[in-house]
C-alpha cells in the first residue's frame, strides 16, 4: 500500500514521498526498509536517526527531517489503525463452507459463514452470520454460536453451549467439558452428571488451550467484554463479570463469582464458592481463599490486601537478622539478671 493512501485513511498530514510502498509495520528500533513505524513516547526519539523505517507516524508537534512521515493527533492510536488496514483480517482466510465439513441434522448455518476443512458441526447447531470457523473445530449438537465470531483451529465446543456475538476463541480451547464433580462412595468416586452449559457473552476473547467447564446444572457464564489469556481453567458454575481480564494459567474453582472489571494476573488460584468484588485486582500467583471486597488489591499465598502483605513480606525478608537481634537481647538480659541478683545479695 502506498504511503499516500494510508495517509488518507488515517486522516493525517503527509510530509515527504507519498509513493513509498508500505509492506510491514514495526517498532522504531526494529523497523526495516518498507516498514512504517511510529513515535509516541519521547524516550524512543533517540532511534529517529538510526531507524531503517521507510516512513513514520509522528505527533503534529513532532519534527522529523530524515524520513517520510505522517503527522497525526495520536501516533500510537493511528499506528493501531494502520495495523488493521495493512494486515489482512484473520476472518477472511476461509470463504464459504469447505466441502470436507460434516454437518449434522437441522443445523442452521447463516449464509455468509466461513468454515475451513475438517470441521464438524453437530445436529441442531446454530451459527450466526459472518462467523468464521478455522479447520479442525468440533462443535457438538445443540451448541449456538452468534454473529461475527472467530474460532481458530481445533476449538472444541461441547453440546448445548452458547457463544454470543463478536467472540474470538483461540486454538485448542475446550468449552463445555464436564465439571469436576464426584460423590464419594466408600473409597471410590461416582460421577455426578454434568448437564448444565457454558455461556460466553459477546465481545469476549479466550486464549489458546483454555478450559471452561459446563455447569453441573445451570450455567458457567463469561460476561460481556471479558478477556481471558492462554491456559486458564474455569470450573463449573463459575461466573466471570463484564470487562474482567484474566491472565494466563489462572484457575478459578467451582461456583466462584468474579465481579465486573476485575483484573486477575497470571497463575492466580481462586478457591470455590467465593466472590471477588468489582474492580478488585489479584496479583500474580496469589492464592485467593476468601471473598475479596470491591476495589481491593490482593496479593500472596494465602492472599490478603497488598499493603498489609507487603509489610509482612518486608518483615519476613529481615527475619534472619531479627533472630540475631533477639539472641543479643537475650544475652544482655541474662547479664542484667545476674547483675541484679548480685546487687540484691549486696555483693
Nearest to 104, CA basis, from 74, 90, 124: 124
Nearest residue (CB) to a copy of itself, 17 versus 345? 345
Nearest to 135, CA basis, from 121, 122, 124, 148: 121
Nearest residue (CB) to a copy of itself, 19 versus 346? 346
Grid-cell match 543479643, residue found: 328
Q: How far is the CB of 91 from a copy of itself (least distance, A)?
A: 12
Q: How far is the CB of 58 from a copy of itself (least distance, A)?
A: 17
Joined grid coordinates for residue 155? 476449538
Provide the 8-state DSSP code for 131.
Answer: -
- Please tell me the distance from the alpha carbon of residue 162 to that of residue 144, in angstroms, as a whole number: 5
Q: How far is the CB of 256 from a copy of itself (least distance, A)?
A: 12
Q: How far is the CB of 95 from a copy of itself (least distance, A)?
A: 12
- Let me know if 236 is a catalytic residue: yes
Question: In a 10 Å sphere around its CB, with 0-12 CB exposed, 13-18 middle and 19+ buried, how is residue 221 labelled?
Answer: buried
- Please tell me the distance from the alpha carbon of residue 324 to that of residue 86, in angstroms, as a whole number: 64
Q: Catalytic pick from 98, 170, 236, 318?
A: 236
Nearest residue (CB) to a copy of itself, 17 versus 289? 289
Nearest residue (CB) to a copy of itself, 34 versus 218? 218
Q: How far is the CB of 65 from a copy of itself (least distance, A)?
A: 25
Nearest residue (CB) to a copy of itself, 147 versus 263? 263
| H or E stretch at 314 | helix 306-317
Q: How far is the CB of 245 from a copy of itself (least distance, A)?
A: 7
**Chain center to CA of 327:** 49
Contacts of 212 (CB under 8 A, 6+ apart): 173, 174, 175, 176, 177, 198, 200, 206, 220, 222, 234
- Please tell me the distance from the alpha carbon of residue 128 to that of residue 150, in angstroms, as a whole number: 11
Buried b / exposed e over 2-40, threshold 16 CB at 10 Å, is ebeebbeebebebbbebebebebbbebeebeeebbbbbb
H-type helices in 13-150, by residue range? 75-86
Let me know: does 218 contact 236? Beta carbons within 8 Å.
no
Nearest residue (CB) to a copy of itself, 59 versus 76? 76
| Residues identified as active-site | 236
Amino acid at each position: 500500500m502506498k504511503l499516500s493512501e494510508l495517509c488518507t485513511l488515517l486522516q493525517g498530514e503527509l510530509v515527504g514521498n507519498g509513493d513509498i510502498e508500505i509492506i510491514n509495520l514495526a517498532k522504531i528500533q526494529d523497523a526495516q526498509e518498507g516498514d512504517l513505524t511510529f513515535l509516541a513516547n519521547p524516550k524512543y526519539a533517540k532511534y529517529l536517526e538510526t531507524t531503517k523505517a521507510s516512513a513514520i507516524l509522528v505527533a503534529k508537534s513532532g519534527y522529523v527531517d530524515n524520513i517520510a512521515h505522517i503527522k497525526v493527533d495520536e501516533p500510537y492510536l493511528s499506528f493501531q489503525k494502520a495495523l488493521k488496514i495493512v494486515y489482512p483480517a484473520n476472518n477472511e482466510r476461509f470463504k464459504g463452507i469447505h466441502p470436507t465439513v460434516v454437518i449434522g441434522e437441522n443445523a442452521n448455518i447463516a449464509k455468509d459463514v466461513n468454515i475451513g476443512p475438517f470441521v464438524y458441526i453437530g445436529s441442531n447447531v446454530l451459527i450466526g452470520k459472518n462467523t468464521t470457523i478455522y479447520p479442525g473445530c468440533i462443535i457438538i449438537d445443540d451448541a449456538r454460536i452468534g454473529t461475527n465470531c472467530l474460532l481458530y483451529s481445533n476449538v472444541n465446543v461441547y453440546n448445548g453451549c452458547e457463544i454470543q456475538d463478536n467472540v474470538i476463541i483461540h486454538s485448542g480451547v475446550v468449552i463445555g467439558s464436564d465439571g469436576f464433580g464426584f460423590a464419594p462412595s466408600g473409597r471410590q468416586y461416582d460421577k455426578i452428571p454434568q448437564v448444565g452449559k457454558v455461556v460466553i457473552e459477546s465481545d469476549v476473547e479466550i486464549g489458546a488451550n483454555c478450559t471452561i467447564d459446563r455447569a453441573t446444572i445451570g450455567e458457567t457464564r463469561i460476561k460481556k467484554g471479558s478477556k481471558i489469556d492462554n491456559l486458564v481453567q474455569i470450573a463449573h458454575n463459575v461466573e466471570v463479570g463484564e470487562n474482567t481480564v484474566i491472565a494466563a494459567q489462572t484457575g478459578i474453582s467451582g461456583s466462584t463469582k468474579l465481579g465486573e472489571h476485575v483484573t486477575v494476573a497470571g497463575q492466580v488460584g481462586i478457591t470455590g464458592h467465593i466472590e471477588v468484588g468489582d474492580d478488585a485486582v489479584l496479583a500474580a500467583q496469589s492464592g485467593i481463599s476468601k471473598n475479596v471486597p470491591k476495589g481491593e488489591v490482593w496479593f500472596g499465598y494465602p492472599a490478603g490486601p497488598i499493603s498489609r502483605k507487603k509489610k509482612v513480606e518486608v518483615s519476613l525478608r529481615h527475619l534472619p537478622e531479627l533472630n540475631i537481634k533477639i539472641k543479643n537481647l537475650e544475652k544482655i538480659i541474662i547479664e542484667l539478671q545476674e547483675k541484679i541478683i548480685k546487687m540484691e545479695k549486696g555483693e
